[in-house]
Structure 1
C-alpha cells in the first residue's frame, strides 16, 4: 500500500516514530468505537485515556431516574 511504510526493528533505535491508526468504514468515514468505559469516570482516568490514545472525543450517555425538566433538589 502506498500509504504504509514498513519499519525495521533497527529504525527505532535511532528515530522516534509516531504511528497514527485511523480505521474507516465501508463509506470511507471515520469509524466510531462504542464500548463501555471500564473504569470509573473521573478526571484522572480520562486524562490517562487521553495520554494513551492522544486526541479523541468522549461522548457520554447518562441514564437518570429523573424525568426531563424535573428539578433535582
Structure 2
C-alpha cells in the first residue's frame, strides 16, 4: 500500500490547497480511489461523488461509511 498511497499523497500535494466545501468527483473505486476517499474524508471533505460501475467496489465504498455518493 505504500506505493499507491504515495501516488495519492503526491496528487493531493499537487492540487493543494483544496478548500473544504469544493465538489469532488472520484472516478473509480479501486485501491487508489479508496485511498483518495479516505484521504479526502480525513481532510474534512464531504461533498464527494464516487463513480464506479462495479457493484462490489461500490459496496466497499459504502462500508467505509463516509457518506459519499
TM-score in terms of structure 1 length: 0.29
Higher relative contact order (CA 8 A, sep 6+): 2
Of Structure 1 and Structure 2, the greater helix share is in 2
Of Structure 1 and Structure 2, the greater strand share is in 2
TM-score in terms of structure 2 length: 0.30
